[in-house]
Amino acid sequence: MGDAEQLGRDVAWRVFVAVSTKWGLRVLEEIGAGRYRFRELHRAVEGISYKMLTQTLRELENHGLVTRYDHHTANPRVDYTLTAAGEGLVQTIHGLCRWSGAHLDQLLAAPAHRSDAPAAG
């Protein structure tokens, strides 16, 4: 494996870790759906605390998936948008969901998805 390919894999794994948290994908989805302001995101992502939303947004921004824009107004106003990489990732995730739907019967028949299967962990 070449250096560029290894670097690509390493970056992909780091991004995967960042978005596979409890809140990462949900926040990305909401930004992709057009909720751009902090309070809008907080209302849309049920159960997330202000602190966790802040940490999640910083992590997504740190990985190049989200852009933060501070309007520098008297009343604090910050908007978040997906970067091109973030949009591509959301599209990829939607593709994975379509794949899952296309193979749902087969996947549900697998031991890990049966109701009588032991809990993972």
* pLDDT tens-digit map of 36-74: 899 999 999 999 999 999 999 999 999 999 999 998 889
**Closest CA relative to residue 23, chosen from 59, 68, 64, 67:** 59
Mean predicted confidence (pLDDT) in 24-36: 92
Q: 35 or 98: whose pLDDT is higher? A: 98
Where residue 57 falls (left for φ over 0; alpha for ψ -120 to 50; beta otherwise) is alpha
pTM metric for this prediction = 0.83
Question: How far is it, in rounded angstroms, from Cα 72 to Cα 109?
Answer: 54
Question: How far is it, in rounded angstroms, from Cα 67 to Cα 58?
Answer: 9
Question: How far is it, in rounded angstroms, from Cα 59 to Cα 61?
Answer: 5
